[in-house]
Amino acid sequence: MRFHLPLLARVLRERWRGLAGWVTGLVSLVAVQVAVYPTIRDSREGWSDLTEQFPEAIRKIIRMEDYTSPAGYLTTELFSFMFPLIFTGVACSWAARAGAEEEENGTADILLSLPVSRGSILFTRLVAVFVALAGVCVAGIASLAVGTRSVDMDVGTAGIAAATVSCALLGTVFASASVVAAAWTGRRGVGLGTGLGLAVVLFVAYSLAPLVGFFDRILALNPYQWTIGQSPLADGIDPALALVALLTITVLCVVAQAGFSRRDIRA
């Protein structure tokens, strides 16, 4: 299994417009949320009183803590839902195409006739997923670093990077599930639905964990807890839990390789 640079270049060339759209959306979201923060900060007492009136259950579900502080505001508005949603969307859409696009387009026979192994083809396509996520990650870190400084939000770049990378790592876990389903079935829709469906189910379980005993007991098995559940903006990335996420990704990618190598390809 080897990395195939021409294939990577082709994938990125074909999909750069879609990736640019994701990046534009993320940067626009950051700009809006950062621009709103001075209003929150200048009326700190009023917002504190308002958030204190929220039902305790709601505050636990969205894990709202000190909403008027820079870290609390960014965690609530971006790192608890919107950033994980964007990274999961990018990752799963690219990963589903990695395992099934050529077959659905009817060009699998052309690609597989090249002197490149199936393992190398899927591996290179997975690298393209990681490159796409890295690009979105850099855009998120850069836009937040510039934006927070422009409105005097006291948030360190290291914390911003840790929180953004945690969201990207979360998206990669679900991307791995997508590529497994796509590689074994040859259907992009199945891959996309598997990754996104798993993301939704586990997000509900993660959100309700403070209120539902069963979900709380299995929280240690939830990828959301391994990544964004550790307050990376304030405390950085937990190395042990990040390793768990990386091992999960690795195992799922190996399973995807096995499925892609053994599946009968329909040209």
In tens, the pLDDT along 149-191 reads 999 998 999 999 999 999 999 999 999 999 999 988 888 889 9
pLDDT digits (tens, 9 = 90+) for 32-59: 999 999 988 877 766 566 566 665 656 6
**Lowest mean pLDDT across 62-66, 95-99, 130-134, 193-197:** 62-66
Q: How far apart are CA 25 and CA 34, in angstroms?
A: 14
Name the pTM for this structure.
0.89
**Distance of alpha carbon 164 from alpha carbon 227, whole angstroms:** 10
In tens, the pLDDT along 231-254 reads 899 889 999 999 999 999 999 999
Angle at which helix 157-185 crosses helix 188-208, to 10 degrees, equals 130
Evaluate the CA torsion angle 223, 159, 138, 246 in order and state its sign.
Answer: negative
| Domain range annotation of the chain | 5-262
Radius of gyration of the chain (CA): 20
